[in-house]
């Protein structure tokens, strides 16, 4: 691991030096082209400069790809092993769009991608997380395109050792573009309605939707509501919690991609490691904060016929 880390550091420093050389070469190329303007050598000089720039661009692109792959393999593994007893990191794999759509908890547009999957175990709770981007791009009559981002952040699926028939959405105020299944085109048996709790402070911060009140209140206990409010104070992002299809889904709208490579600072990766730890702690805070390892999620069968 340390050899890979040193290789990554050396490659990052090499790319930074090459970036500086590329800028210098581009400046020299522009100056030479200007000096040759109006001379018989102008055309040849222009071709040479263009060819040199293309070679530098291709070389830098190859180094950048190599760095990205090594960064993700080395840095994520280095931090993940600090938190999880078992984990598998799949940088090029994410959730499938059709699967997430089938859950019926988010709206979807024309644009979607997902990557950086981590499958792991924390406190005997198994989970899968990935970066998810959902947006819609439209073009007006003048040909101008605009993109509305629905969600960009971490999507965490937790698999409790228990089956739930409950369909429950808990949406923090300010979290938008959800699919609430309240429309007239939703089948009656799948339609959700607003659920009011007796906790007025919780109702101010969150909106709950469910298909069956009794089933929802089996999960939505005063203890869990307090835990959700504490979690919302720990996480500096808006979130949605959904119990659906025997899984617990937590969407954290960070407005960014996690685990993206960046170059070393002052010969080290201290800032990058801190950023990755912050992403891992989102997972830990959710599993711990939502009390997923408590008995409610662990034994027997909840409201299951």
- Percentages helix, strand, coil for the chain (3-state, rounded to 5) are 45, 25, 30
CA distance 245 to 165: 7
Q: For 279-289, b where at least 16 C-beta lie within 10 A, e where not — what string?
A: bbebbeebbbb
- Per-residue model confidence (pLDDT) at position 304: 38
Enter the pTM of the model.
Answer: 0.81
DSSP per residue over 247-304, as a string?
Answer: EEEEEEE-SS-TT-----BTTB-HHHHHHHHHHHHHHHHHHHHTTTTSHHHHSS-BS-
pLDDT of residue 297: 57
Q: What pLDDT score was predicted for residue 54?
A: 76
Q: Along the chain (305 residues), what's the average pLDDT of each consecutive run of 10 residues?
A: 68 72 72 75 73 72 78 86 92 96 95 96 92 95 92 92 79 93 70 92 96 88 92 94 92 91 70 89 91 56 37
List beta partners, residue 194. 209
- Residue ranges covered by each domain of the chain: 2-81, 87-298
Q: Does residue 137 contact residue 110 with C-beta atoms inside 8 Å? A: yes
């Amino acid at each position: 691991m340390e050899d890979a880390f040193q290789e990554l550091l050396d490659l990052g420093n090499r790319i930074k030096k090459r970036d500086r050389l590329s800028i210098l070469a581009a400046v020299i190329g522009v100056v030479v082209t200007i000096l040759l303007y109006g001379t018989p050598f102008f055309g040849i000089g222009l071709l040479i400069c263009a060819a040199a720039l293309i070679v530098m661009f291709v070389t830098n692109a190859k180094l950048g790809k190599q760095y990205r792959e090594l960064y993700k393999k080395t840095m994520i593994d280095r931090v993940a092993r600090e938190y999880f007893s078992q984990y598998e990191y799949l940088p090029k794999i994410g959730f499938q769009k059709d699967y997430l759509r089938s859950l019926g908890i988010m709206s979807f547009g024309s644009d979607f991608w997902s990557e950086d999957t981590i499958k792991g175990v924390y406190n005997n709770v198994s989970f899968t997380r990935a970066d998810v981007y959902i947006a819609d791009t439209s073009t007006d009559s003048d040909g101008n395109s605009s993109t509305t981002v629905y969600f960009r952040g971490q999507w965490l699926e937790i698999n409790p050792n228990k089956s739930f028939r409950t369909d429950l959405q808990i949406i923090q105020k300010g979290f938008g573009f959800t699919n609430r299944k309240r429309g007239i085109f939703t089948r009656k048996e799948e339609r959700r309605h607003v659920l009011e709790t007796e906790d007025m402070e919780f109702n101010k911060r969150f909106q709950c939707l469910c298909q069956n009140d009794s089933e929802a209140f089996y999960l939505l206990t005063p203890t869990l509501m307090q835990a959700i409010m504490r979690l919302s104070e720990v996480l500096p992002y808006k979130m949605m919690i959904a119990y659906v299809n025997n899984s617990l889904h937590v969407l954290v709208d960070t407005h960014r991609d996690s685990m993206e490579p960046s170059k070393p600072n002052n010969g080290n990766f201290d800032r990058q490691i801190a950023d990755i730890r912050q992403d891992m702690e989102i997972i830990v805070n959710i599993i711990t904060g939502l009390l997923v390892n408590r008995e409610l999620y662990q034994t027997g069968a909840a409201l299951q016929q």
